[in-house]
Amino acid sequence: METVTENPSYKLELTSSPHIHSRWSTQYAMWLVVISLIPAVITAVLIFEWYQLVIISVSIATAIGTESLIKYIRNRKLTINDGSGVITGLLLALILPPNFSLFGTVIGAVIAISLGKEVFGGLGYNIFNPALAGRAFLQASFPVAMTTWTIPNFAVDATTTATPLAAMKFDKIYTSFSPLFLGNIGGSIGETSALAVIIGGVFLIAMGVVNWRIPLSMLIGIVLFGGILWLIDPTKNPDPVFHIFSGGFLFGMFFMATDWVTSPITAKGMWIFGIGISLLVVLIRVYGGLPEGVMFSILFMNGFVPLINRFTQPKTFGAVK
Amino acid sequence: MKKQVTLLKEYTKGLWEINPVFKQVLGMCPTLAVTVSAINGIAMALATTFVLVLSSLIISIIRKLIPPQVRIASYIVIIATFVTIADLVMKAQFPELSKSLGPFIPLIVVNCLILGRAEAFASKNTPVRALFDSLGNGTGFLIVLFIIGSIREILGSGTILGFHIMPLTFEPWLIMILPAGAFLTLGLLMGLANFYVDHKKNKERESIIEKFRSSKQLPTIETEA
Amino acid sequence: MNNTTKMLITLGFIGIVAGGSLSFVNNWATPLIAANQKAETERAIFLVQPEAKSYERIDNLPFEAYKVFDENKTFVGYSLPYEGNGFQGKIRLMVGLSTDLNNIIAMEVLDQIETPGLGTKILEEPFKDQFKNLNSSSPIEWVKGSPPSKDNEIQAITGATISSKAIVAIINNGIEGLKKAELKGEEK
């Protein structure tokens, strides 16, 4: 449909405020996110070989292709330039298991963009984090392939390919701190190295792309809830440090939970959101049937964001309740 | 009294115009729950149609005898009778099918589609019209359940009506035979149906505007629809 | 006729007709349904006892159990349907046992609602075949990651440890219950 401004009979172009532009744009922020993910990509190649780059490229290409196709079918303007498709593709690839099938990657990226984002009306309208939605679909569809982990390159003990969380949950084997920190463990392509993820995450916070409240509240939450369970029974429940550095917690904390569209906009809301995620992560990891729960926790809390926003709306100055 | 339409129209309207699933959005519970395979979808829809047609017919025949205060109670008793008959017949003749449909056959009693058609149509129309209307609705229900069941079976198990049709390398998308797959399939199909209807409406409107413009040469400012 | 009477008469009439037709259908269907159920039980009993030709239900047990006989009416073993909790819901099994209850002849899963693709591997041959000729004089056990080394061990399914464990637990409980009941009976 035509809009008024595109009608050639009008001489004056009408746009609503704001009229002052800063260097900040969706595009600028999105490219900063891409830069922040470079350390994770590099460590992924170091730990799991070059093939992971193929998965990443396929995922990004499919994401962009799907978005263009849907925009074309729906007769809307192309929005590839905003970089959100690239981010979704990149994030999705980084949370897949290493050496995942390319066909599966394509399905995941198509679902992430189409069902995760475009059915709601595109960027800004989606309720759930698109990359996580894509992964959740793959997890439910191919539970075996999605939990088949590759032995890391520098593995000391090559007999087990289980992730530290699975080893803890099913066999009560603890992984020591240094492999967890450097990433020399079984796990998704981009999430194993806590160091690389922290470098990227701190960069994002320093540049002001993501709000520090969500990561901080998640950290406090996991120390609190993980710590309580650990103090109750240290032999059965993992300590909070293990909770933080294992699985996808750090990756989800910096790159998934902080997604602009699917996290609360109020400061108070962000605290509720972050602590809620951590509570769910601890509950799923300790009492659930699955070893890891970061993905479901974030998706679950995503669903509460509209409610959280509504109940934490700051009072207008001078307003009487 | 509204204008009487042809008997054929009473039948065909159930296929698309007032399709039970896409347009009336009735009977969602069986639509979502039993459609893990095409055969389940067909069996469910046939059982529902059986109950729908016979109860509509009976209700239409005795519609003038039922006092309005007890009409819902009467409808439910009639519907429940036919549901129980359907359930017993399936248990006796098709035990396997009855087992895979589980409690959803007895639950046809509370399928809004049947009470909905009884209240909205059969209680106000002649038995012949009620027969055609319920047959049309049943067919519409059958088509949609078959489509949803087929999509879920093909993607979720790689088969259709039990026959392998996907290549051996195809790994089934297990999510499609889980409840989430039912919601995804139904949602996307409904979205497609609405998309198609919108598209058609837009085209019609544009052609009317076009005709109007070319005949009257009015200024071309588009107003908000 | 006043309105209340009319309502009562209508509802009463509909009720009588409905009840009448239902009892008619029920009379026709009941024997067929019973036959279906019997056929299903029989199929399951013989599935885990390949030599069996006839069976007989053991009375006075708190659960179902069957003695099975071969063509010469010789007692060849037990068929034991037993159920317990799996990962997502009830799992119902049929276990075939030797006459002294110390050997499992075969195991079949009758009903389950485990996770498709993972837990449902308990329905597949590689898993079920592990139970053939398993020594059940002591409770059977499961191992993970490596093939079983003892004659009362099975290997759990990768990714479905909970379902595998559940099956082992159900079988152990069932055998224990049957042993208690049957061996006590012999002592008398």
| pLDDT tens track for A13-34 | 667 776 666 667 778 888 899 9
- What is the greatest pairwise CA distance in chain C? 85
User: Nearest-CA residue of chain A relative to B196?
Assistant: A74
Contact A292, A283 (CB under 8 A): no
C57: three-class secondary structure by DSSP: strand
**Looking at the partner chain, which of B73, B78, B91 has a beta carbon nearest the beta carbon of C29?**
B91
pLDDT in tens, C56-102: 888 777 788 888 888 888 888 888 888 888 887 888 888 888 888 88
Q: Answer left, alpha or beta for residue B107, where phi above 0 means left and psi between -120 and 50 means alpha.
A: alpha
**Looking at the partner chain, which of C10, C21, C29 has a beta carbon nearest the beta carbon of B70?**
C10
Task: State residue B32 phi and psi, 5-degree precision.
Answer: -85, -40
A144 with C159: Cβ contact below 8 A? yes
Tell me the mean pLDDT in the region A36-46.
91
Residue B204 domain flag:
no
Contact A141, B158 (CB under 8 A): no
Contact C2, C9 (CB under 8 A): no
Q: Does the CB of B164 have a partner CB in chain C at under 8 Å?
A: no
Neighbours of chain B (3+ CB pairs under 8 A): A, C
B221: three-class secondary structure by DSSP: coil
Cβ neighbours of B180 (radius 10 Å): 15
**Looking at the partner chain, which of A1, A115, A143 has a beta carbon nearest the beta carbon of B184?**
A115
Task: State residue B85 phi and psi, 5-degree precision.
Answer: -60, -45
On chain A, the residues whose CB falls within 8 A of the CB of B222 are: 1-2
Q: Does the CB of B174 have a partner CB in chain A at under 8 Å?
A: yes
Q: Does the CB of B66 have a partner CB in chain C at under 8 Å?
A: yes
On chain A, the residues whose CB falls within 8 A of the CB of C162 are: 289
A/B interface, count of CB pairs below 8 Å: 23
Q: What is the pLDDT of residue C51?
A: 80
Q: Does the CB of B184 have a partner CB in chain A at under 8 Å?
A: yes
**Looking at the partner chain, which of C10, C15, C33 has a beta carbon nearest the beta carbon of B91?**
C33
Angle at which helix A26-36 crosses helix A84-94, to 10 degrees, equals: 20
Taking the C-alpha atoms of residue C108 and residue C96, their distance in angstroms, rounded to an integer, is 9
Taking the C-alpha atoms of residue A275 and residue A219, their distance in angstroms, rounded to an integer, is 8
Q: Which ranges of chain C have pLDDT less than 70?
A: 1, 145, 183-188
Tell me the mean pLDDT in the region A87-94.
94
b/e code B17-49 from CB counts within 10 Å (16+ = b): ebbbbbbbebbbebbebbbbbbbbbbbbbbbbb
Angle at which helix B38-61 crosses helix B127-157, to 10 degrees, equals: 170
DSSP secondary-structure letter at B125? S
- Going C84 to C89 to C92 to C98, the CA torsion angle's sign is negative
Neighbours of chain C (3+ CB pairs under 8 A): A, B
List per-residue pLDDT tens for chain B, 225 residues long.
Answer: 455 788 888 888 888 888 888 988 888 888 898 888 899 899 999 999 999 999 999 999 999 888 888 899 999 999 999 999 999 999 999 888 888 888 888 888 888 899 999 999 999 999 999 999 999 999 999 999 999 999 999 998 888 888 888 887 888 888 898 889 999 999 999 999 998 999 899 999 988 888 887 876 655 555 554
The number of domains in chain B is 1
On chain B, the residues whose CB falls within 8 A of the CB of A7 are: 221
**Looking at the partner chain, which of C87, C117, C161 has a beta carbon nearest the beta carbon of A144?**
C117
Q: Does the CB of C115 have a partner CB in chain A at under 8 Å?
A: yes
Residue B215 domain flag:
no
Q: What is the pLDDT of residue A193?
A: 86
C105: three-class secondary structure by DSSP: strand
Residue B203 domain flag:
no
Q: Does the CB of B5 have a partner CB in chain C at under 8 Å?
A: no
DSSP secondary-structure letter at B123? T
Tell me the mean pLDDT in the region A40-50.
88
On chain C, the residues whose CB falls within 8 A of the CB of B92 are: 28-29, 32-33, 36
User: Nearest-CA residue of chain B relative to A7?
Assistant: B221
Give the minimum alpha-carbon distance from C149 to chain B in angstroms, rounded to a whole number.
33
On chain B, the residues whose CB falls within 8 A of the CB of A70 are: none
Task: State residue A148 phi and psi, 5-degree precision.
Answer: -100, 110
Q: Does the CB of B166 have a partner CB in chain A at under 8 Å?
A: no
Nearest to A83 by CA among A60, A57, A66, A106: A60
Residue B213 domain flag:
no
Give the minimum alpha-carbon distance from C39 to chain B in angstroms, rounded to a whole number.
11
Highest mean pLDDT, choosing among A214-228, A237-251, B198-212: A214-228
pTM, rounded to two decimals: 0.82
**Mean pLDDT computed over every residue of chain A:** 85
Taking the C-alpha atoms of residue A220 and residue A235, their distance in angstroms, rounded to an integer, is 22
User: Nearest-CA residue of chain C relative to A166?
Assistant: C159
DSSP A39-56: HHHHHHHHHH-THHHHHH
Element (H, E) at C63: none
Contact A140, B174 (CB under 8 A): yes
C25 with B67: Cβ contact below 8 A? no
Q: What is the pLDDT of residue A158?
A: 47
Q: What is the pLDDT of residue C108?
A: 87
On chain C, the residues whose CB falls within 8 A of the CB of A143 are: 115, 117-118, 159
User: Nearest-CA residue of chain B relative to C3?
Assistant: B67
Domain extent for B22 = 7-197
Q: Which of residues 75-104 of A touch B (CB under 8 A)?
A: 104
Q: Which of residues 140-159 of C touch A (CB under 8 A)?
A: 144, 159
Taking the C-alpha atoms of residue B82 and residue C125, their distance in angstroms, rounded to an integer, is 42
Highest mean pLDDT, choosing among A128-142, A165-179, B200-214: A128-142
Q: Does the CB of A72 have a partner CB in chain C at under 8 Å?
A: no
Contact B91, C31 (CB under 8 A): no
For chain B, how big is the Rg over CA atoms in Å?
A: 21
Give the minimum alpha-carbon distance from A280 to chain B in angstroms, rounded to a whole number.
21
C115 with A143: Cβ contact below 8 A? yes
ipTM greater than cut 0.95: no
Residue B163 domain flag:
yes
User: CA angle, A122 as apex, A301 and A100 as ends, to 5°?
Assistant: 70
DSSP B16-50: TTT-TTTTS---HHHHHHSTTSHHHHHHHHHHHHH
C7 with B69: Cβ contact below 8 A? yes
Contact C94, C48 (CB under 8 A): yes
B77 with C18: Cβ contact below 8 A? yes
A/C interface, count of CB pairs below 8 Å: 14
A170 with C161: Cβ contact below 8 A? yes
Give the minimum alpha-carbon distance from A134 to chain B in angstroms, rounded to a whole number.
12
